[in-house]
Amino acid sequence: MSLPASDNFNRDDENPLAGNWTTVTGQKASRLVNNRVAGTVSGKSSAAYWNADAFNDDHWSQATISLKNPNGHDGPICRAQDDANTFYLFGVKSGVDYGRYYKCVAGTVTQIGSNAGAVAQSDVLKLQVVGDELTGSINGVAQTAQTDTAIPSGGSAGLREYATDGRLDDWSGDNVATGNRRRRLLLGSCA
């Protein structure tokens, strides 16, 4: 296969999520139910990364929030490590109704920075990680970027769900064009 990668999940139910998906070590398996991705265990988080392609250090992941989760944050992840319970997340939950940046490092989840913009059901969330900069977007509108150095490189793009209540759909992911990073680094070096 080759990037960009995408999955509309329009197929028979799967438990665990199969095909080009691998469960993040230390997380519960994601599952496919009624053509949407959900968690498998109440009170626990599930996460999976796309395994059919190799991602560069700088990449993005996006998904549609088809049912907001009342219990925990669901959304796209980046730099998901295949040998550790580690990734970045841009997620939302019902009742909070705005995007939030998180890092999960060796299973410990911490919010990064302040809350992002409002998120409604059917919105598309995207997380892009370039160097130490995380940029979330909601329906194509970039939110205030956050910086973090906990996961400096590697990993893959994917999805994270908490408990069994939320649903994600229409996932895609790709590398960030090398020229975009080079331009950002050059501009940053002039400041």
pLDDT tens digits, the chain, 191 residues: what are they?
689 999 999 999 999 999 999 999 999 999 999 999 999 999 999 999 999 999 999 999 999 999 988 888 999 999 999 889 999 999 998 888 999 999 999 999 999 998 999 999 999 999 999 999 999 999 999 999 999 999 999 999 999 999 998 899 999 999 998 655 444 444 444 43
Biggest distance spanned by C-alpha atoms of the chain: 52
3-state class of 39 per DSSP? coil
Which CA distances in Å does 23 have to 48, 85, 189? 4, 10, 38
Nearest Cα residue to 161 out of 51, 41, 78: 41
* Beta carbons of 116 and 138 less than 8 angstroms apart: yes
Amino acid at 2: S
| Domains parsed from the chain with CATH numbers | 5-190 (2.60.120.560)
